[in-house]
Structure 1
Amino acid sequence: MTITFVLGLAFLATVSPAQAGTAAKATSGNATAVRVLKYDASRAAEFRSAIDQAAQIWNSSVTNVRLVAGSPADFVVYADGGWPRTQPTSLGRGTIWMGRQATAEGHNPLRIAAHEIGHVLGLPDRRTGLCTDLMSGASAGTSCTNPNPNAAEKAEVNRNFRGFTPAVDFGRIYVDSPELAAQ
């Protein structure tokens, strides 16, 4: 019993606090460290709660990335009068603008927030028109309120954070407007 206790203490002494705080998940038999992304929604005005809820949706949907409010932020969220848009600058980093024009026309703020965060997580627009596809965006119409990524979108984000090349174009601004949704 004394040997077990001493070995336990030796193990704890060799693990740094940073290592102890890093979560690991088993994915297909391989341990993958969870990447924590901090976001700043302090300038998101009335959309702040939608951003926080969307972050929780992504947290419950994917296994190797976790979104937390904090600074320094990996991505920042603003509110403005235009259409919702995101400029991912690298995987997990960028700027989101929650546009009031979309909500004024009846689009769901939580779906918008989850969709825009999807761009930061490496997902491009896919204008399928299907409400089950989060990245279909405005092409699903104003009656669609689904804020949840589908199985393929979840798997793609998990792959992105395991080192695969994301399909999103970094540096490009993704604008989700009805005019673009019709294309």
Structure 2
Amino acid sequence: MLVVALSWTVSQASAAPPPASVPASAPAPAAHTAAVVLTYDASGAAEFVDAVDKGAAVWNGSVENVRLKPAASGDRASIEILADDGWPRARTTSLGNGTIWMGRQAVDEGHDTVRIAAHELGHILGLPDMKPGPCSSLMSGASAGVECTNAQPDAGERAAVEDNFASAGASPAVYEPRLYQDRPVAA
């Protein structure tokens, strides 16, 4: 059993010298903007719940302007995540809102579930597909092949998401709802 003892001391305050004046030409301190928090509901994601949580953790470890968190029980989530037998896809309704389907067809063909989750969450965060593309690009999706397990966004993808959520609570000027279907590129 670990016991932690805290002690408090009270001391008499002494007058501190007034702060030095700041020259008018000095840059103002940068204001820290709170991250936009998006909640997701993976209760319909079946066997993919762990992959979804890991995909969200990828984004949380990669960007600062947005945070993905599981929705509290009974709360309406920004993102609904479901499992089905088709190809993975995401339907965005606005930046940070939409539905993701974790498709078993891609998994059955050998695609990595965490990469799928992080990729589909990338669509919800405002990123388009970048196909065909290399494995180093998360948004290259299935075009990188089944051997690709990279679930990390590249520098450009991270920067785009940071830009999309640079003003906490602000909506982008133009954002068209759309359906992203992640099917392999035909040869």
TM-score interval, smaller chain: 0.7 to 0.9
Q: Deviations over 1:108-137 (max 9, x none)?
A: 111000000000000000113200000000
AA of the residue aligned to 1:31: H
1:62-141 to 2 correspondence within 5 Å?
Answer: 62-70=63-71, 71-141=75-145
Q: How does 1:27-46 map to 2 (within 5 A)?
A: 29-46=30-47
Runs of 4+ in 1 over 4 A off after TM superposition: 1-4, 163-167
Secondary structure at 1:33's aligned position in 2? coil
- Displacement after TM superposition at 1:33 (Å): 1.8
Larger Rg: 2
Bigger proportion of residues as helix: 1
Q: Alpha carbons of 1:165 and 1:49: their partners in 2 closer, same or farther (altered >3 Å)?
A: same
RMSD value, Cα:
2.2
TM-score, normalised to structure 1's length?
0.79
Cα distance, 1:39 vs structure 2: 0.3
- Report the alpha carbon displacement of residue 72 of structure 1 after superposing the two structures with TM: 1.7
d(CA) in 2 for partners of 1:104, 1:77: 19
TM-score normalised to structure 2 length: 0.78
Partner of 1:24 in structure 2? none
Show structure 2 runs of 5+ residues with no match: 1-11, 16-28
- Distance in 1, Cα, partners of 2:173 & 2:134: 22
User: Which residues of structure 1 form unaligned runs of 5+?
Assistant: 5-27
Indicate the percent of aligned positions where both proteins have the same amino acid: 54
Question: How far 1:86 moved relative to its partner?
Answer: 0.1
List per-residue Cα deviations over 1:21-60 (Å, max 9, x = no partner).
xxxxxxx944222111000000000000000001011000
